[in-house]
Structure 1
Amino acid sequence: MKKILYAFIISVIAAFVLNKLVFRDVPQKERQKFLTEVQLYKHPIKSVSPDYQDNSDLKVLDSVLKGNRVLMLGENTHYDGATSQAKSRLIRYLHENLNYNVVLYEAGQYDTWVMNEEMKTHRMKVPADSIGGLGLFWFWWQTKESMPLINYYQKTKTSPNPIEIGGFDIQLTGSHLFKKRAKLLKDFLSKNKINLNSFPVFSKNMDNLEYLTFKSTADKILQGNKKKFLLEISQLEQAVLQLEKTPENTIYAQYFHDMRDTFNKSWKYEPQSLPSMQLRDSLMARNLIHQIDSVYKDQKIIVWCANIHTFTEKYEKVYVPLGTYIKNKYGKASYMIDFSSYGKRGDHGNITNKPGKFAIENVFHETKTPYFFMNLRDIPKSSPLKKEFVSTINQGIDQKKIWSRSFDGIFYIDINTKLTPLQKK
């Protein structure tokens, strides 16, 4: 019994000592060095409101993005309201002043194509306040923060300089396509004399496409016909590829290709696992590069996605983020801006999601600057900002890395906000 007691006491003492060693306070000298550097290189931003009219604070981007072709705008999480506002303001400025006329989302290629076509033609008679739901996840259109940008997209469609909206993901993302997806497919195939009866498994399950992305549901519904289902999707893709190479036929061929890929990924890997993310990012890279080089050749492009997808350095041994493929191909003609915050305002006005005490976001907070942009690309290599430090820029997780290898610029929002849904999802 005494041995157990002694062992317990020793373990408590060891834990106490370890805690002191590992979680000791950041030395004040080191903290001050970071603060001095941040104060030197930060560029204050006056507002994140899309309606803010004085754009003098954004003119810094004119020189930062000189020679740029692909601008990736990240976000720490998909539910950051002030980040959504900031990105909306940036897009409007970039479109009106720097000739960025294409915005591509981390959303389905086909779904966003349908959304973009409806913005132009209104053939489906989808209400203006619901049109974003044809292509985007709810957090990018069905909120108070995102609606001004969706309205701006639609407004540009009748101007001499319209914005083209697209996507590069393999997923089925448009919730407002849920009940329309099967009919659109049937109409397209019928118009092109492709007989659905030749594809019995796919034809029988066309109304369940969204449900089938869940492995357990697919196992139950398809009942041993999963391989046949995927084969028929490939055969449909090949049938469409034999048609005339029109924009519509091309997107439908890509639709079938992405559809097969998303089912294959969902059935093979655990959701959000690194192997799943690796496959998805590699496929998104294939789609995005195709759009940059072929669909929107010689145009300036904005890419909207999560911070982690913008990273330009291998994240783990098995995970190469989308941004790595883009940076490897386009080099300095690509620029990645990631968003970070000190905290988020809670429902009762309190500040939540604060960083750990080692994170650089504490230093950012000490500058007492509500919003700022910092161009890491032009900061000297000798600066501590170009060396290893802790940041919560990846989904609020405290991580220590040489972050300047993962992105080019930081857009800092001191206190972020939650999204404000326009209605229940």
Structure 2
Amino acid sequence: MRLALLPALLFSLSFPSLAQEKAKGYIQNNTVPVATISPDSRDYSDLEAIGNAIADSRIVLLGEQSHGDGATMLAKSRLVRYLHEKKGFDVLAFEGDFFGLNTGWGLAQKDSAGVRAFLTRNLPPMWSSTAQCASLLYSFLPATYLYGRPMEITGFDSQVGYAHSNASLRDSIDQYLRRLGVPYTRMGRYEQLFLPSITRLKEWTGKTKEGRVWMEGFALAADTVLAQLGPTASDDFGYLMLENARAFARQLLVYEQPLASYIVRDTQMARNLRWLAQVRYPNRKVIVWAANSHIMKNAGSALKGQDAAIRWMGTQLAEDPTLERQAYTIGFASRQGTYRNGPKLVGVPKPLKDGFETWVADSMAYGFVDFRRFRRENPSRRELFMMKGSRHMNATALWTKVFDGVFYIRDMEPTVSLKP
């Protein structure tokens, strides 16, 4: 019997399109049109399918193929407004400075000018200085503080170098460690080397020999201090301040090795987001704003190539059964157009002939498909197909297991710099 099945199996492996018919048909028949991506549209009837897919999830992760995708920024801005106004989400967590956004947001004036002043100095510029995010950040967010249901800003990235961290991270860590009487604070090298190293993190100097020496020394010293704090302090915000500083130093040490750098960074981001969801905001509904790559689930079993070797933040979070039940992950995909990569405008690569982007109807400008429902209806299916799921690159994967849903944009537009 097994020998009889072998030719059919080899035939299906030789012709992948024959092994993906279920996914193809599902995508063709179940991608629901979205009328607009304009953040100013208050008629949310076209987003009902997304709301139904999210159901009672209290964490929604919104991706983006690249940080230069202007159309995606508009779509995400509209989704944030919808999730706040119709689904009760009131925390917006950015792929941004964990310390600076968590400690600085409460100090910011909550009018448009105050929010803009804080975010332009403490949120990465691909969002804070982008015209397509301006309506969300500088009109909608301040308005939530006027009508009594404020949207709180936070961050989960270990990377520092922004205004509030530059001014306050060293002193905040110092005060925390001295208050707890950590033995290392009584050593001479604490003030001579350890504290100055925290200040130097903002320099991002991982390429020079001298820079590597002080980063390695700081990371080892941080290991000692964290051990002296002990596991009972591991949920303290102060503990995480130092843990993030150590992670950033380790990331800088391998900055020219993308694979190793992502592993360090995503592990810390997963730790930070888990803490935000379970310790700081255990009963709140949280929107996560990040890149597609960082929110990808099941990397080791569903992806191929280098992406499969990285335990992305989303993969680590999904390994926690409680968080997996509570979260819904939305990736973004686009068919054609242009995106921004630094100062350059880059054409979106053409999709391959037989893949996700070509299965969506040509006439559909925007759409959404619920992959979680596909998994529920087809629990044993493992269908590989092509999609531009990350960094606009065509890639073959078990995409129905990587994202819970996908927001489709036919014509990508690049981000535009916000005028001062």
TM-score normalised by the chain length of structure 1: 0.78
Distance 1:133 1:320 in 2: 31
2:390 is matched with: 394
From the CA coordinates, give the structure whose radius of gyration is larger.
1
Partners of 1:387 and 1:207 in 2: how far apart? 49
Residues 40 and 181 of structure 1, relative CA distance in 2, 3 Å threshold: same
User: Does residue 407 in structure 1 map to residue 403 in structure 2?
Assistant: yes
Structure 1 residues 261 and 384, CA gap change in structure 2 (3 angstroms) = closer
Please tell me whether the aligned partners of residues 371 and 400 of structure 2 are also in contact (alpha carbons under 8 angstroms): yes
CA contact (8 A) 1:114 1:134 kept: no
Map 1:224-263 onto structure 2 (within 5 A). 224-231=213-220, 233=222, 250-263=236-249
Aligned to 2:272: 287
Q: Which runs of 5+ in 1 are unaligned?
A: 1-24
> Partner of 2:58 in structure 1?
69
Gaps of 5+ in 2: 1-14, 180-184
Equivalent position of 1:10 in the other structure: none
Aligned pairs for 1:106-255 (under 5 A) are 106-119=95-108, 127-151=114-138, 152-172=140-160, 174=162, 176-177=163-164, 181-182=166-167, 185-186=170-171, 189=174, 198-205=190-197, 207-211=199-203, 213-217=204-208, 219-221=209-211, 224-231=213-220, 233=222, 250-255=236-241
Quick one: distance in 1 between partners of 2:133 and 2:339? 19
Are 1:371 and 1:411, in contact at CA under 8 Å, matched by a contact in 2?
yes
Moved more, 413-422 or 183-192: 183-192
More moved, 190-199 vs 315-324: 190-199
Shift in Å at residue 188 of structure 1?
Answer: 7.7
How far the C-alpha of 1:79 sits from its partner, in A, is 0.8
Q: 1:232 to 1:352 in 2, by over 3 A?
A: closer
The answer to whether structure 1 residue 367 and structure 2 residue 378 are counterparts is: no
2:351 alignment counterpart: 355
CA separation of 1:61 and 1:225: change in aligned 2, threshold 3 A? closer
| Residue 335 (structure 1) aligned with residue 328 (structure 2) | yes
- Report which stretch shifted further, 87-96 or 318-327: 318-327
1:344 matched to 2:337: yes
* Higher helix proportion: 2
| Structure-2 change in CA distance of 1:61 and 1:317 (3 Å) | closer
Which segment is superposed worse, 385-394 or 255-264?
A: 385-394
Structure 1 residues 38 and 317: alpha-carbon distance in aligned structure 2, compared to 1, 3 A threshold: closer
Q: Which moved more, 1:281-290 or 1:86-95?
A: 281-290
Deviation at 1:214, TM superposition (A): 3.0
Aligned residue for 2:3? none
Deviates more, 1:230-239 or 1:368-377: 230-239
Q: Which moved more, 1:193-202 or 1:374-383?
A: 193-202
| Identical aligned residues as a percent | 24
